[in-house]
Amino acid sequence: MTASRIDGKAAGVAVRERVAKGVRAFEQRAGRPPGLATVLVGEDPASAVYVRSKNRATAEAGMASFAHNLPDTTSESELLQLVADLNADKRVDGILVQLPLPSHIDEKKVIATIEPSKDVDGFHAMNAGRLATGLDALVPCTPLGCLYLLKAELGDLSGLDAVVIGRSNIVGKPMAQLLLGENATVTIAHSRTRNLEEVVSRADIVVAAVGRPEMVRGHWIKPGATVIDVGINRLPTDDGKGRLVGDVAFDEAVEFARAITPVPGGVGPMTIAMLMRNTLVAAHRRAGLADPENL
Ligand SMILES: Nc1nc(=O)c2c([nH]1)NC[C@@H]1CN(c3ccc(C(=O)N[C@@H](CCC(=O)O)C(=O)O)cc3)C=[N+]21
């Protein structure tokens, strides 16, 4: 069997087009566009690229974009003050503080300072707790994008065996919560899991989010399973440009899976699309409007 490639780029474009329509409708009703503020501290080139593409996507969706690029000498209290200012700014519906932050800044403190109704990353404990207890929440963009691709591929996930490899607050844990919400049987595996191969080989759905290049081998995959690869690992190449690979050995896994996301062009573009979606949803909730439909 040769797996189909799940086209996250195309799915992301489709979501962003629906968001853009929703933005126009919101603006008619609220008299202002939804707004997203991004905060980048320091000069990490990869972070700068990601934040730029988020700002571009925001403008393309017709939303107001407020980009704050700060030097890596920014103190923690200066950053907390900026977040407080953005919390109070009525034009701002979403606040994204790009991670990782420089080591002299406590990420936990920064996340805890973001107003939960503007936390479009879904990282605040309020949103994590609301997701875990089945209340309306802002849900982290990457797992939300993964769930979107899974439902597009499989429809109903009820009763399926899902394995999430990785237990981060950003991907693994919220991914598991979302799958549980869809009535999948969920296993969370991690670096201490014994016999990972055997655990993976039982799964109808594999979500790999460990950050270790090509760690999941093709023969681990149950024939006909669906594989979502969250990893983005840059490997060195002779020409110095580097090559992106996921956490799954793609060329092997296509021989076993029913469908699989490539890297790049899989989960990454969906993350940005879901950030646009979350910003539109946050704008509606903050304006006292019902959630937009069909996103
Ligand atoms: N507060 C915060 N929120 C985030 O959502 C967040 C963050 N910090 N820090 C870094 C990670 C990483 N991230 C990506 C988003 C899009 C792609 C993406 O679009 N990737 C493309 C291109 C990859 C490339 O060429 O580098 C692809 O996979 O096809 C990748 C990675 C969001 N993150």
* Atom number, ligand 1, closest to the C-alpha of residue 267: 28
Mutation pick for ligand 1 pocket among 50, 107, 119, 127 (CB with most ligand atoms within 8 Å): 50
Domain residue limits, the chain = 30-115, 141-267
- From the candidates 121, 204, 229, 247, which is the catalytic residue? 121
Q: Is residue 54 flagged as an active site residue?
A: yes
Distance CA 57, CA 51 (A): 10
pTM reported for the whole predicted model: 0.97
Residue 166, marked binder: yes
Same fold, 30-115 and 141-267: yes
The CATH code of domain 30-115 reads: 3.40.50.10860
pLDDT in tens, 27-37: 999 999 999 99
Q: Are 260 and 176 in contact (CB under 8 A)?
A: no
Residue 232, marked binder: yes
The pLDDT, as a whole number, for residue 284 is: 98
Q: Is residue 81 flagged as an active site residue?
A: no
- Adjacent-strand bridge partners of 94: 36
- Adjacent-strand bridge partners of 243: 235
Residue identified by tokens 């991670």 is 99
The pLDDT, as a whole number, for residue 205 is: 99
Q: Are 265 and 9 in contact (CB under 8 A)?
A: yes
Q: What are phi and psi of 216, to 5 degrees?
A: -85, 120
Residue 211, marked binder: no
- Adjacent-strand bridge partners of 165: 189, 208
The pLDDT, as a whole number, for residue 94 is: 99
- The beta strand positions in the chain, using DSSP E, are 4-5, 35-41, 64-70, 94-97, 161-165, 185-189, 205-208, 226-229, 233-235, 243-245, 259-260
- DSSP type of residue 25: H
Residue identified by tokens 């800044």 is 105
pLDDT in tens, the chain (295 residues): 799 999 999 999 999 999 999 999 999 999 999 999 999 999 999 999 999 999 999 999 999 999 999 999 999 999 999 999 999 999 999 999 999 999 999 999 999 999 999 999 999 999 999 999 999 999 999 999 999 999 999 999 999 999 999 999 999 999 999 999 999 999 999 999 999 999 999 999 999 999 999 999 999 999 999 999 999 999 999 998 899 999 999 999 999 999 999 999 999 999 999 999 999 999 999 999 999 998 8
Question: For the CA atoms of the chain, what is the radius of gyration?
Answer: 19
Distance CA 103, CA 126 (A): 24
Topology (CATH level 3) of domain 141-267: Rossmann fold (3.40.50)
Counted residue by residue, the chain has a size of 295
The pLDDT, as a whole number, for residue 1 is: 75
One-letter identity of residue 98: Q
Pocket of ligand 1 (CB under 6 A): 50, 96-99, 121, 141, 232, 244, 263-265, 268-269, 271-272
Q: What are phi and psi of 168, to 5 degrees?
A: -70, 155
Please choose, from the candidates 193, 201, 132, 144, the residue with its C-alpha nearest in 3D space to the C-alpha of residue 171: 144
The pLDDT, as a whole number, for residue 236 is: 93
ipTM of the modeled complex: 0.95
Q: Is residue 98 flagged as an active site residue?
A: yes
